[in-house]
Chains A and B, each alone.
Chain A
Amino acid sequence: MNLLPWTIYLSFIGASLAWLAGRRWSAPARWLALLTALGNLGIIGWAALDFSPAAETQTLVDLPWVSFASYHLAADGISMTLVLLTGIAALAGILFSWNITHRTGDFFALFLALIGGVYGVFLSADAFLLFVFYEIAIVPKYFLVAVWGSTNREYGAMKLVLYSFAGSALVMAGLLWAGAAGISFDMNFFAAQTRILSQVQQTGMFALIFTGFAVLAGMVPFHTWAPTGHVAAPTGASMLLAGVVMKLGAYGCLRLALPAFPLGLDFFQPLIAALGIAGILYAGLVALVQTDFKFVIGYSSVSHMGFVLLGLAVATPRALAGAVLQMFSHGIVAGLLFAVVGRMVYERTHTRDLHQLHRLPLFRMLPFAAVVFSLAGIASMGMPGFSGFPAEFSILIGTWQHNALWAVLAAIGIPVAAAYTLRVVHLAFFGKIAAEEISSADHPPLPPTTWPERLGAVLLLAVSITVGIHPGLLLDWIVPALQSPLMQIVSNGAAQ
């Protein structure tokens, strides 16, 4: 358990080593990155075995740092879930980035630095520390997208990072205000402190911090960075962006905004729920008419994060558990979808235009990709048997307990998701099925899928199915964490 902080350190060490090694050779950089990711996953696995879910967070490190904040790392079930997600997503991301040859060392260094920041966010038990790690995770994104990206990469990267930074500016303003009002940044003290704040203060601070984090979680109308950024990003980075980075925003909302300012949540609850539902439906409908393969997945991410936001807004224990599970699930599934689109299809066919792909017998040419994408698509629709189902179901249950109309509106998102997923499966993979009609000269065979791709895809699918069939694995971590005094405030506050 106490090794868990080493995920952060190991990532940064790995980043430095990969950078050094990458200056001359690319293979060692790659292997170093893989080893780092495996090492992290090993640490997480070890910690998971050791982890006994309890209501209280378990402190890992607590050192004095600066006058108003301490270097306080801790883990509870929610952190563990998301740390595990990060470990898996990082490993898969590296596997799907195996073919990076341009500035390999730089790529993996930035990749691991980003991962290190993400681990830091998920393990921080101090608001200031969390914010520091959060910002550390922002900058590498810019370079990952701008250097190794594709379409419109510099625009996408800049938009992505400016949105993130604007969001974090809001968070910073909120934190400073809270600090000035006498709140200590140690998250364990939030519960005791909130009652010194007035309604107006809580509302204002909540608005700043929640909005700031929600920008990164893809909340409508601040979501527009997400599709562009995801599309521009290289495969590994878009996997991380959708898989992990969007979760940072939701996690920040859950960990800082909700418990610290329960009255703020009460005030903004309808608005957030409305924006969450708007995200589910609007992004889903927009995904339905995209012609760029990756844009479909980008918008679908926004749509799925809408469920997370809805869960956060509703803030009953069940909805929150669903939201955390949805973060995990979406991290895995969206990562897989981006992997198929970016790595398996785009890098072989060099097009993402659905109508062009439709003219290729892609199902024949890349059967593995077609099967994986179909399965991932089914998972993404929230079909039972995959991880998205218990998550969305749990959110729906929680929403019912709160407001019937919200539940009905959110449920409409499910057939919409089915519609755009099936459409894209059809257009992209099952265009010309009768390969006989097409002479092989028209379509030279594509390079077959490589073993890192297969490994990564199987890993992610296996995780999604395991969690889908036995969600208790994660819920047994998440649920006790939601019963901590800190989180009780959330559900009590929202119930008022």
Chain B
Amino acid sequence: MNAYYSELFSFHLPEVILTGGALLVLAADLLLGKFSSEPVRRALAALLGMLAMGFAAEALSPYLRGDTSALGQLCLLGLSGLTLLLIAGTSRLRHPAEHVALTLFATVGFSLMVTANNLLLVFLAFELSSITLYILAGFDKSSPASAEAALKYFLYGSVAAAFLLFGFSLLYGLTGEIELAELGAKLSVLPASPLLVIAWIMILAGFGYKAAAAPFHLWAPDAYQGAPAPSAALIAAGSKLAGMLLLVRLFAEIGFSPLGPALQTALALLIAASLLLGNVAALVQSNFRRLLAYSAIGHAGIVLLMIGIAPADPQMAFGDVLYYLLTYGLASVGAFGVAAVLEANDARGQKLSDFAGLWQRSPFLTICLLVFILSLAGVPPLAGFFAKFNAFYDVLGSLDSAALTSSPFFWLVLLAIAMSAVALYYYLQVLKQAFIAPAEETRPLRIALPATTALLFAAAGIVLLGIFPEHFLRLLF
């Protein structure tokens, strides 16, 4: 028994380190916070948080080779780490230690989502990350918008969790198993039943919420808009990556091939709705964050497209989703980071027009924004382009090449490509403000060192992942 626990402990060392780190952050703040000013407290909390992340990453390193989920965890740590830097560099909120600690807890949840092998644990991890994110979304207690964001996120999230739980319980009821591997084995011999379809549709709904796929997207614009920037970044980047990796794993482990057509149709509808709604609604947004939210919906469509091939080739789907959402996450964190820097300077960074004249105020920030937005738009040589191309290439490659045109996924890929051309319009609206419009406010922007670091890392990551994608992808296959 002891040996079993120690093994478990060493296997979950990263999560343990993160949890310990979170507690340490809280404790340190409790002890030292009274004697120091707000910025120092924030710096200290972030520093400790970063250290915890670093140790967690270090603990992961033995597993990196040959274990793709470890790589997924590492990516999640990286994205959360960038969020921490944003907290340190841009946030003015009170209780920074709690902010940091919650981020760490959320990261624990993400990490568990990637590794969980048991339906119960899956649900727990899912909820752990969700609940911390609800709190994070409402962390700005001075802002009604933040409260609204948290409430909406919470209400939709809890319903989604209920759906998910219902789906899981149906699976359990059908098979009597909660271990994913055995569940999969039992399911594969089970005759197709309407219950199974319902179970899967429930599960898809739960994850659709996590990915902000239409029609489960309603929370996203308000949450993106109202949540404090670092929290929004975490929701956009880490939470989505973890959720989708989990979904890939579910599909990979327990597969839905016996139920192919029905689920495929449901998935296809979800994809088409997300692509259309996200990209078209984004066209009319004048709020930067809402624009990002709708663009996220559009991206969710592409991610679900990749998940569609998970039953056929889980390894490839996992790699593609990881690569896609990593680059997407970097760009999102970066974009929210730029907005956060603006907010920190002017107390406004919501409207598109708030970005006007950015090129005069900070060329560095402009270039970073350029990289993030163009990566989201999928312009080479940035990573977003390669991720998208790679995804489409693999999706089409996994189809039967002789009957290509009869597969819905072929047409969905075409739709996604068409929508990426539409998307360029709204992405350019952002860049137009930042790069072309004259500034109303010409005061140079002050960017704190942590924020600079975060933006620099994100931008460099996007450029390097875009130019040398193979160096990353090779780790996966």
Q: Do A and B come from one complex?
A: yes
* B51 located at the interface, meaning its Cβ lies under 8 Å from any Cβ of chain A in the complex: no
How far apart are the CA atoms of A131 and B424 in the complex, in Å? 17
* B396 located at the interface, meaning its Cβ lies under 8 Å from any Cβ of chain A in the complex: yes
Beta-carbon contacts of B407-422 to A below 8 Å, as 1s and 0s?
0000001100110110
List chain A residues, Cβ under 8 A from B436.
143, 146-147, 154
In chain A, residues 158-186, which have Cβ atoms closer than 8 Å to a Cβ of chain B? 158, 161-162, 165-166, 168-169, 172-173, 176-177, 179-182
* A219 located at the interface, meaning its Cβ lies under 8 Å from any Cβ of chain B in the complex: no
Instruction: Determine whether the beta carbon of B396 is less than 8 Å from that of A180.
Output: yes
Instruction: Determine whether the beta carbon of A64 is less than 8 Å from that of B421.
Output: no
Instruction: Determine whether the beta carbon of A172 is less than 8 Å from that of B389.
Output: yes
How far apart are the CA atoms of A143 and B373 in the complex, in Å? 14
List chain B residues, Cβ under 8 A from A173.
413-414, 417
How far apart are the CA atoms of A132 and B469 in the complex, in Å? 13
* A451 located at the interface, meaning its Cβ lies under 8 Å from any Cβ of chain B in the complex: no
* A189 located at the interface, meaning its Cβ lies under 8 Å from any Cβ of chain B in the complex: no
Instruction: Determine whether the beta carbon of A135 is less than 8 Å from that of B404.
Output: no
* A459 located at the interface, meaning its Cβ lies under 8 Å from any Cβ of chain B in the complex: no
* B473 located at the interface, meaning its Cβ lies under 8 Å from any Cβ of chain A in the complex: yes
Beta-carbon contacts of B463-477 to A below 8 Å, as 1s and 0s?
000000110010000
* B154 located at the interface, meaning its Cβ lies under 8 Å from any Cβ of chain A in the complex: no
**Chain B interface helix/strand/loop/mixed:** helix
Q: Which residue of chain A has the shortest Cβ distance to B466 in the bound complex?
A: A132
Known: A173-B414, A173-B417, A181-B401. Is A165-B396 also a contact (CB below 8 A)? Answer: no
Instruction: Determine whether the beta carbon of B396 is less than 8 Å from that of A135.
Output: no
Which candidate, B40-48, B170-178, B206-214, B380-388, is the interface stretch facing chain A?
B380-388
List chain B residues, Cβ under 8 A from A180.
393, 396-397, 399, 401, 404
Instruction: Determine whether the beta carbon of B421 is less than 8 Å from that of A135.
Output: no
Instruction: Determine whether the beta carbon of B421 is less than 8 Å from that of A166.
Output: yes
Instruction: Determine whether the beta carbon of B413 is less than 8 Å from that of A143.
Output: no
Number of interface residues of A (CB under 8 A): 36
List chain B residues, Cβ under 8 A from A165.
421, 424
Cβ distance A194 to chain B, nearest Cβ, rounded Å: 15
Instruction: Determine whether the beta carbon of B396 is less than 8 Å from that of A106.
Output: no
* A46 located at the interface, meaning its Cβ lies under 8 Å from any Cβ of chain B in the complex: no
* A419 located at the interface, meaning its Cβ lies under 8 Å from any Cβ of chain B in the complex: no
How far apart are the CA atoms of A103 and B473 in the complex, in Å? 39
Instruction: Determine whether the beta carbon of A135 is less than 8 Å from that of B379.
Output: yes
Known: A138-B379, A139-B374, A146-B436. Is A106-B401 also a contact (CB below 8 A)? Answer: no
Cβ distance A428 to chain B, nearest Cβ, rounded Å: 30
List chain B residues, Cβ under 8 A from A139.
374, 379
Known: A66-B386, A132-B380, A172-B417. Is A154-B432 also a contact (CB below 8 A)? Answer: yes
How far apart are the CA atoms of A168 and B385 in the complex, in Å? 12
Instruction: Determine whether the beta carbon of A158 is less than 8 Å from that of B385.
Output: no
How far apart are the CA atoms of A88 and B325 in the complex, in Å? 42
Instruction: Determine whether the beta carbon of A147 is less than 8 Å from that of B435.
Output: yes
Interface residues of B (CB under 8 A from A): 359, 363, 374, 379-381, 385-386, 389-390, 392-393, 396-397, 399, 401, 404, 413-414, 417-418, 420-421, 424-425, 428, 431-432, 435-436, 469-470, 473
A-B contact pairs, 24 of them (CB 8 A): A23-B363, A66-B473, A67-B470, A67-B473, A106-B359, A132-B385, A139-B379, A143-B436, A146-B432, A146-B435, A146-B436, A161-B424, A166-B421, A172-B389, A172-B392, A172-B417, A176-B389, A176-B393, A176-B417, A177-B396, A177-B404, A180-B396, A180-B399, A180-B401
Interface residues of A (CB under 8 A from B): 23, 64-68, 103, 106, 128, 131-133, 135-136, 138-139, 142-143, 146-147, 154, 158, 161-162, 165-166, 168-169, 172-173, 176-177, 179-182
